[in-house]
Structure 1
């Protein structure tokens, strides 16, 4: 007698149609993977660009906050400041007498100048640092921000409770200094807002939503 061998569902082999379906699916997955590679590369490049931009913003903000926080007016120096030229503070130029953040400079006061330069949509923020001590090293220059769409300084006057693109008082540094930077491709940086502390500046926390300076802030 010839025995009959039965096949269970788990033992049944694949039919030709099923093999063709699997091959088609694998081809589609391979094609999708190839098409997704450029997108994934662009996403990776953008992520890296955003991280580099965030790091650059943090460096600029930290340096600017430190120099503004320690700013003094020429009047604060008494007779020692009589030979110094006036400090400028407008939309494209911020001039400060200040100490430098830890790790920079060799102590003493410095004249720190940050100037907006360049054509529209290709702005840069140039930095010049000159020591006031007789033994201070030679003045140095560099660039804080490159290839920005827009860069602007503005100044808060607590008496008028408003912002302006000019600070006209010569007897005191601005109550608050604001730096706005817009980078091509990534948009506006969060504004950098800082007040001078050593010169008796306004001690408040600026509310960027309500656009007011709240007393008693840190």
Structure 2
């Protein structure tokens, strides 16, 4: 017996050894495919998690930029501003008087408070929006970020050219406001940096490379 498997007429047959090698290779490929499935599933889940995290970051950053950009110092409100409870501006709380765009508010000024709370390693970013007009709707509350490793606010003072974790001046808004968020698994979000348009840092251009504010503005 020659050990050759007959093929199509006129063609060389496949030997038994070659057939066994092919079957072995196919088995290895099938085994590799089975072992790769969990890895592919994990990669797909991570990709979905990253996309979800990016969408959440974009929503938080967009809202925060609007709130900071439209903020007003209390001193610009005269006697009305004197009746407002002091704003809290530190590493765990950003408290602003701001206008909101159509769709987010019904006109007038709002006290927008974005607070960091929770336990170490499981931090949340909470939002409270309360209108200052007598006919304003009831205050709204919600969660912007949850289960973060770390969340912190910081504030840039252009004359001193430095960041601080608190802001005590009531006559002036920070030149820039910064939000840093670290999420489990995906790490730090790119920082959100925004300056107020009125009474703040509209002319302060922040240099992310030098980590400082350029002094060319008024």
Q: Tell me the TM-score range normalised by the shorter chain.
A: over 0.9
Partner of 2:165: 165
Query: CA 1:9–1:173 in structure 2 vs 1: closer, same or farther (change >3 Å)?
Result: farther
Equivalent pair of 1:110/1:132 in contact (CA under 8 Å):
yes
1:126 deviates by 0.4
Partner of 1:206: 206
Equivalent pair of 1:158/1:202 in contact (CA under 8 Å):
no
1:133 deviates by 1.1
Partner of 2:4: none
Partner of 2:57: 57
Partner of 1:136: 136
Q: State the distance in 2 between where 1:97 and 1:200 align.
A: 13
1:10 deviates by 6.7
TM-score, normalised relative to structure 1: 0.92
Give the alignment's Cα RMSD to 1 decimal: 1.7
Equivalent pair of 1:155/1:164 in contact (CA under 8 Å):
yes
Equivalent pair of 2:151/2:182 in contact (CA under 8 Å):
yes
Q: State the distance in 2 between where 1:133 and 1:12 align.
A: 92
Q: State the distance in 1 between where 2:41 and 2:10 align.
A: 42
Query: CA 1:200–1:207 in structure 2 vs 1: closer, same or farther (change >3 Å)?
Result: closer
Query: Partner of 1:118: helix, strand, or coil?
Result: strand
Unaligned runs of at least 5 residues, structure 1: 1-6
Deviation string 1:133-162 (CA, Å, 9 cap, x unpaired) is 111100010001100000000000111111
Q: State the distance in 1 between where 2:14 and 2:98 align.
A: 80
1:202 deviates by 4.5
Unaligned runs of at least 5 residues, structure 2: 1-6
Q: Are 2:99 and 1:99 aligned?
A: yes
Count of aligned pairs: 211
Partner of 2:83: 83
Query: CA 1:10–1:172 in structure 2 vs 1: closer, same or farther (change >3 Å)?
Result: farther
Misfit runs of 4+, over 6 Å: 7-10
Query: CA 1:10–1:201 in structure 2 vs 1: closer, same or farther (change >3 Å)?
Result: farther
1:209 deviates by 2.1
